[in-house]
Amino acid sequence: MSVWFGGNNKMCAYRHGRLACLALIALSGWTWTQVASAQGDIVGFWDQPATGMTLGTALAPLFGFIEDSRERADGPSPVDYLGLPLNEEGRSRALAYDAALLGVPEHVCMRHPSQYSFWGPARLRISAELDSNLNMVSYVVGGTFRRADRTIYMDGRSHPPDYAAHTWAGFTTGEWRGNTLVTLTTHLKWGWLRRNGVVASDQSTVATFYTRNGNVLTVTWIVHDPVYLTEPYIKSVDFITQPVSTARFGVEPVDAGDDYFFKCFTSEEIAKPDQHDVPHYLPGSNPFVGEEAKRFGIPVEATLGGAATAYPEYRDRLQR
Amino acid sequence: MSSALRLLTPLLLALAAVTTVVSAQTTSPVEPEVRGAPLGVMKVQGNVWLIAGAGGNIAVQAGDEGIVVVDTGAVGLTDAVMAAIRTISDRPIRYVVNTSVSAQHVGGNAKFAALPGGSLSGKTRGAKVRILAQENVVARMGEVGQGGTPAYPSQAWPVDGYYVPERNLVFNGEVIDVIHQPSAHSDGDSIVYFRGSNVLVAGDIYTTTSLPLVDRARGGSLTGLLRALNKMIDIAVADDLAEGGTYIIPGHGRISDEADLAEYRDMVHIIRARIADLAGRERLSLAQVKSRRPLLGWEVRYGHAGWTTDMFIDTVYDEFRARRAP
């Protein structure tokens, strides 16, 4: 797994990637200092800190976790790619996205893929599968939107050949390194990098780091996508333990009633004269370009993303 | 060979020759590089397997009655293909179906045709391997080239050409639909649907490795290819939460499901709309269309040296060029 940190096209080979890499190493170092109080096992029920039932949104600020609540709830604005290291291909692809695509029957039930799923709405249920000798075979991470449940094989098996099918969850292997579970996911479908039309390709791979500190589970993932990104994309989110007394296998009652999160039946949501229409915007015609910039008083350029927009010095550049 | 085909074959051969001359300036797609042995063998589902690495993908349906093979790979790899088939089943090979005339899909035909067939159950006809394809495949394999010889030896020609929209058979207890897709990758494309196994074989209409393989010199078109992709989407049914269900074996690349097919269809739909907008509505020249990069978003993912974005636009531009009033 050391290959994820070195060599060409790997995170640490990039200038900005090196910064992210150093940050990750620093994070790992910080994690090691917490070993005494940490619990390595990630099995259990985990909730989102800011929007979950455990704390309630009113108490969330007191807990110190107002984290990505927009992304973890209703989702981002249509053209807001700030901080995403998109290349021109990725940007063009994102700008072609029309949200009406989700009304196309083939797309109605698409899941949040492993390139994205921990960032979106999620209440994790992590279980362990043991063999007859009680040796670890795998972890299963469920609870992300539309259940792209991720099986993390811990038994040393190899990844499938390149002609095998890809899935929304992908194929994942893992190993414990100190207090952190480190996994590699391949064989992914295309899917959201951010759920406003920014996609990762089916050539992308994801390295994920699960670190537990007391009742907080920090999940950090790095998306390598040679198709749509100029450098690896790194993101982290936190989950908090959900006490058994409040844990449910389902979701909020309001959502559970219609199985919104975990079940889906394809239907025609929009009557169209052409059964096979694919809603999209032609180049230069996306009406949402500039909307986010206007709202926050920032240049349009910043909302279109690119690696530079992920770093603090970008603010200085804009001011100049 | 059906009597209708026998009567039509000379006409088709002549028509094909004329078509070849007329469209000599169009570029034919070059399929991805052949990987070669060792070949990959993987069960897809039901009675259907994939053999990968022999040029075009090969599908194998195996059961008590014998074996159906969809496409025969590139020339020179047939022994490896047959060895791979023998890892799946030792029953006799009874049928070969060609999805198109592409070299990486018919290269092993002659060797397969030489195999003894033989019915073990008495339910099937004939003693030799029957090669089935849409009749335009037969015509194009018999096209006489510059050296005065046919493109393929007669032993490689499909002896069972069909000219109706759809040919159906039952083998190993499951219905197999062989459905013609006019003017898609070429004019002789078939998709093959194994109903019981719920596996659809796409041929070069759908690949996960290339921009759309539109072979205009052989009667293909981007519009027809898009129509064929939508036909496959109509056939395919996803399992729970947009995954699995019907599996699709592409002409090249990995095993797919409806979600993968839809992603590719979306790409074809969008780039077709872009090119139609530039070449048709804006009346731009070929060079101007290229300069606007209508494939941006998919150039890196699907372009490759044998079938670049430029070659693709060169090929399909005429399909959308604004027609001047006579």
Neighbour-count burial for A103-122, b at 16+ CB within 10 Å, e otherwise: bbbbbbbbbbbbbbbbbbbb
- Provide the sign of the torsion angle of the four alpha carbons A20, A26, A29, A31, taken in this order: negative
Which range of residues forms the domain containing residue B112?
Answer: 3-258
**Cβ count within 10 A of residue A88:** 15
CB spacing of B297 vs A92 below 8 angstroms: yes
Nearest to B50 among A104, A163, A283 (CB): A163
For residue A166, the chain B residue with the least C-alpha distance is B256
Asked if ipTM goes beyond 0.85, one says yes
Is residue B23 in some structural domain? yes
Q: Which residues in B lie closer than 8 A to residue A88 (C-beta atoms)?
A: 296
Q: Residue A5: which pLDDT band, with cuts at 50, 70 and 90?
A: very low
Q: Residue B115 belongs to a domain with what CATH number?
A: 3.60.15.10
Helix or strand holding residue A236 (H, E): strand A233-241
CB spacing of B242 vs A266 below 8 angstroms: yes
Pairing relationship of beta strands B58-63 and A198-200 according to DSSP bridges: unpaired
Nearest CA to CA, how far is B300 from chain A (Å)?
6
Q: Which residues in B lie closer than 8 A to residue A283 (C-beta atoms)?
A: 274, 292, 294, 296
Q: Which residues in B lie closer than 8 A to residue A106 (C-beta atoms)?
A: 233, 238, 242, 258-259, 262, 265
- pLDDT the model gives residue A122: 84
Q: How many domains does chain B have?
A: 1
Residue closest to A231 by CA, chosen among A308, A314, A301, A120: A308
Quick check: A276 contacting B, CB < 8 Å? yes
Quick check: A246 contacting B, CB < 8 Å? no
Instruction: Describe the crossing of helices B258-275 and B222-235 by its angle, rounded to 10 degrees.
Output: 150
Is residue B306 in some structural domain? no
Instruction: Describe the crossing of helices B258-275 and B309-320 by its angle, rounded to 10 degrees.
Output: 60
CB spacing of A89 vs B296 below 8 angstroms: yes
Nearest to A110 among B242, B270, B277 (CB): B242
Note whether A258 and B212 are within 8 A (CB): no
3 state SS for A28-94: HHHHHHCCCCCCCCCCEEEECCCCCCCCCCCCHHHHCCCCCHHHHCCCCCCCCCCCCCECHHHHHHH
CB spacing of B262 vs A162 below 8 angstroms: no
Nearest to B263 among A190, A226, A264 (CB): A190
Quick check: A110 contacting B, CB < 8 Å? yes
pLDDT along chain B (326 residues), means of 10: 48 42 52 70 98 96 95 94 94 95 95 75 65 96 88 92 96 97 97 98 98 95 97 94 94 97 98 96 95 98 94 94 63
Tens of pLDDT, residue by residue over A157-201, are 999 999 999 999 999 999 999 999 999 999 999 999 999 999 999
- pLDDT the model gives residue A66: 63
Residue closest to A165 by CA, chosen among B78, B61, B199: B199
* Contacts for A122 with CB less than 8 Å, ≥ 6 apart: A48, A72, A143, A144, A145, A239
Quick check: A227 contacting B, CB < 8 Å? yes
Separation CA B202–CA A180 (nearest Å): 44
Three-state DSSP class for residue A218: strand
Nearest CA to CA, how far is A305 from chain B (Å)?
15
What does the mean pLDDT of chain A come to? 82
Q: Residue A58: which pLDDT band, with cuts at 50, 70 and 90?
A: low
Amino acid identity at B193: Y
Nearest to A168 among B230, B243, B273 (CB): B243
Pairing relationship of beta strands B93-97 and B66-70 according to DSSP bridges: parallel
Is residue B183 in some structural domain? yes
Q: Which residues in B lie closer than 8 A to residue A90 (C-beta atoms)?
A: 297
For residue B263, the chain A residue with the least C-alpha distance is A190
The predicted model scores a pTM of 0.86
How does DSSP classify residue B273?
H
Instruction: Describe the crossing of helices B309-320 and B222-235 by its angle, rounded to 10 degrees.
Output: 100
Is residue B273 in some structural domain? no
Residue closest to A161 by CA, chosen among B72, B43, B81: B43
- pLDDT the model gives residue B5: 46
Q: Which residues of chain B have a Cβ shorter than 8 Å from any chain A Cβ?
A: 40, 42, 50, 52-53, 57, 208, 230, 233, 238, 240-243, 247, 253-260, 262-263, 265-266, 269-270, 273-274, 277, 292, 294, 296-301
Q: Residue A53: which pLDDT band, with cuts at 50, 70 and 90?
A: very low
Q: Which residues in B lie closer than 8 A to residue A203 (C-beta atoms)?
A: 301
Is residue B148 in some structural domain? yes
For residue B237, the chain A residue with the least C-alpha distance is A106
Note whether A302 and A90 are within 8 A (CB): no
Sheet with B93-97: list strands edge to edge.
Answer: B40-45, B48-52, B58-63, B66-70, B93-97, B130-134, B160-162
Q: Cα separations (Å) of B6 from A209, B11, B138, B144, B160?
A: 66, 10, 11, 17, 11
Residue closest to A235 by CA, chosen among A20, A91, A14: A20
Nearest to A163 among B255, B262, B270 (CB): B255
Q: Where are the domains of chain A?
A: 41-319
Strands, DSSP E only, in chain B? 40-45, 48-52, 58-63, 66-70, 93-97, 130-134, 160-162, 166-171, 174-181, 189-194, 199-203, 247-250, 256-257
Pick among A81, A93, A106 to test the B interface (most B CBs inside 10 A): A106
Quick check: A264 contacting B, CB < 8 Å? yes
- Is the bond preceding residue A226 a cis peptide, omega within 30 degrees? no
Note whether B233 and B260 are within 8 A (CB): no
- pLDDT the model gives residue A265: 77
Pick among B300, B304, B309, B320 to test the A interface (most A CBs inside 10 A): B300
Share of chain A above pLDDT 70, in %: 76
CB spacing of A263 vs B259 below 8 angstroms: no
Q: Phi-psi region for residue B17, left (φ > 0), alpha (ψ -120 to 50) or beta?
A: alpha
- pLDDT the model gives residue B99: 98
List the Cα angle A146/A150/A155 in 5-degree steps: 165
Residue closest to A48 by CA, chosen among A120, A114, A106: A120
Separation CA A69–CA A84 (nearest Å): 18
Q: Residue A9: which pLDDT band, with cuts at 50, 70 and 90?
A: very low
Q: Residue A34: which pLDDT band, with cuts at 50, 70 and 90?
A: very low
Is residue B308 in some structural domain? no
